[in-house]
Structure 1
Amino acid sequence: MTDRQGPDEEHRRPEGVGDKTVEALGSLSKALETVERARGHLYSFHQLTGTADLELDRAVELLREAGHAVWAERVETEILGRNVIPGHWTFQIVEAYDGTYYRAFRELEQEAVRELADGRGHLYEAEMKEARRTRGHRDHTARPDSPGTRGPARPFD
């Protein structure tokens, strides 16, 4: 019978893996999570800049309709479609970040988890959960399939 009172096998520390290794892998994972957030902000930058550039079409049209052809021409030729840094539109910045930094970081973290912890990720967090949860409380179960686990919250029950 499977023990559902503790973490599942994927979140149990393998034999011989020490505290410092678990802590180091947790720190590496946390750093990667921060990079994931930075990457998300980079995609936000990409989408917001693109949205602004597309809105310039409307600004140019309205400036022309309002009789400001010189200003419409300036917006169209000086800003619309302009590189955000020399030689780059935002998609190229995203591609360079992904290819130069993000992919290498993600692959290294995955390789470290495979080699140092038999591929078991989030050991630090799993052990923290075990240390912090209240055993026997239905909202503090070890796993989704633990006995007594409550289903998704539903309003007005």
Structure 2
Amino acid sequence: MPEPLDDAHARPAGAPDALVAAVGKLSEALETIERARGALYDAHQLIGGADGMLDDVVDGLRATGHADWADRIARELVGRNVLPGRWTFQVIEEFDDGYYRAWKDLEREVREATMDGRRHVHEAEMKRDRITPGAPDQEPTP
């Protein structure tokens, strides 16, 4: 077996290729969940910003003689829940405390049990295997 890049990313003794690949895939899946979480936060901020813009819309409609439209927007859109009983901050809190926490905890527990807690063992081995010794900007470690 080739030498690891460093101790922090070394394959634990006896860990077979299939295990390193499976744990690497679990970490990759968690990275996808992280991206989804970011998109959820993007939606939270975008929706909040749009709701805030409605104050100017309502004021502008009232100022131009369209109180009926202003009243309807104020009644039907301003402060509206995005899900029954929930604004986006509540959706995020539930997501973070439930689904996201389960992913984070289980991925960490699997790494601790199978990779001695080491992160990115699979990627470190891919890096090691793809380095061209002596080539510019391909040093194995900082």
- Relative to the length of structure 2, the TM-score reads 0.95
Amino acid at match of 2:62: R
RMSD: 1.1
Q: Does residue 1:16 correspond to 2:35, yes or no?
A: no
Which of 94, 101, 113 is residue 103 of structure 1 equivalent to?
101
* Structure-2 residue corresponding to 1:153: none
Q: What residue is the counterpart of 2:91 in the other structure?
A: 93
Q: Tell me, in whole angstroms, the C-alpha distance in 1 between the residues paired with 2:25 and 2:117.
A: 16
Q: Secondary structure at the match of 1:88?
A: coil
C-alpha distance in structure 1 between counterparts of 2:5 and 2:35, whole Å = 27
**Residue 6 of structure 1: how far off its partner (Å):** 5.2
Look up the match of 1:45.
Answer: 43
How far does residue 35 in structure 1 lie from its aligned partner after superposition?
A: 0.2
Aligned pairs for 1:1-157 (under 5 A) are 7-144=5-142
- Is the helix fraction higher in 1 or 2? 2
State percent identity of aligned pairs.
Answer: 52
Structure 2: stretches of 5+ with no match in the other structure: none
1:154 counterpart residue number: none
- Return the letter of the residue paired with 2:117: G
In structure 1, runs of 5+ residues without a counterpart are 145-157
Distance 1:96 1:50 in 2: 17
Q: Give, in whole Å, the separation in 2 of the partners of 1:112 and 1:119.
A: 8
For each residue in 1:27-80, what CA deviation from the matched residue of structure 2 results, as whole angstroms up to 9, or x when unmatched? 000100000000000000100000000000010010011111111111111100
